Amino acid sequence: MSKDSISNSVIRRLPRYYRFLGELEHNGYVRISSRELSEKMGLTASQIRQDFNCFGEFGQQGYGYNVSDLRLEIGKILGLDKQTPMILLGAGNLGKAIASHIDFHNKGFDLIGAFDVNPDIIGKEIGELKVRSTDELSTFCTENKPIAAILCVPMNAAEKLANTLIECGIKAFWNFTHYDLKVTHKGIAVENVHLGDSLTTLSYGLNNLESSESK
């Protein structure tokens, strides 16, 4: 199956598979069947087999899946065996939290630079990085060749900044702005993150739960 034909829903389940298999490996599991994995993850065994078959044959009839090998293969599919250089734009409260607490190394990235326009933030350290002025962005990208960027900037600055970053060689964006980044350049990956949307979805779930209990 070609990569272009794999649905986004399948791709979004891969990190969850990877996480669950890591927990199983940590707990001493050597092998697991699709049925056992489905029971732990709340999916159907058929769905799991179909998802894995999009990328190849990983299990054996009558044996199931080797937990360690399957996790390794999914990690390769996700690109976690690489260390893609990444930069952060916007080193305020959110950017600082992301830079300090996300385990980039085990997620396939290497955070190599942080930038901001605020003179009160420039020069300070977040994680192991010293915040640079965005005036240094072009020179830094030329010298260090980052491939991905985290956007933690105001919404009205996101599109212009993204275009600048693309010109500097950035090919992927982890976008925390409130702007749904729509780039027209080919070969660019964008993952929009809306924390507020997640919270309002929780609100719906809570209210729906209360409605069900009142019936």
Whether this prediction's pTM lies above 0.85 is answered by: yes
- Return binding residues: 90-95
Residue 112 phi/psi, 5° resolution? -115, -10
Those residues with Cβ within 8 angstroms of residue 18's Cβ, 6 or more apart along the chain or in another chain: 71, 74, 75, 78, 80
pLDDT tops 60 at residue 213: no
Quick: pLDDT tens for 85-126: 999 999 999 999 999 999 999 999 999 999 999 999 999 999
- Return binding residues for NAD(+): 90-95
Does 26 map to a domain? Answer: yes
Domain boundary (29, 60, 76) is at 76
DSSP SS3 for 213: helix
Does 126 map to a domain? Answer: yes
- At 2 the pLDDT is 52
What mean pLDDT is predicted for residues 154-178? 93
Residue 24 belongs to a domain with what CATH number? Answer: 1.10.10.10
Torsion of CA 163, 166, 172, 175, to 10 degrees: -20
8-state DSSP, 91: -
Residue 121 belongs to a domain with what CATH number? Answer: 3.40.50.720
Structural domain of 141: 84-197
Whether residue 89 is found in the same domain as residue 178 = yes
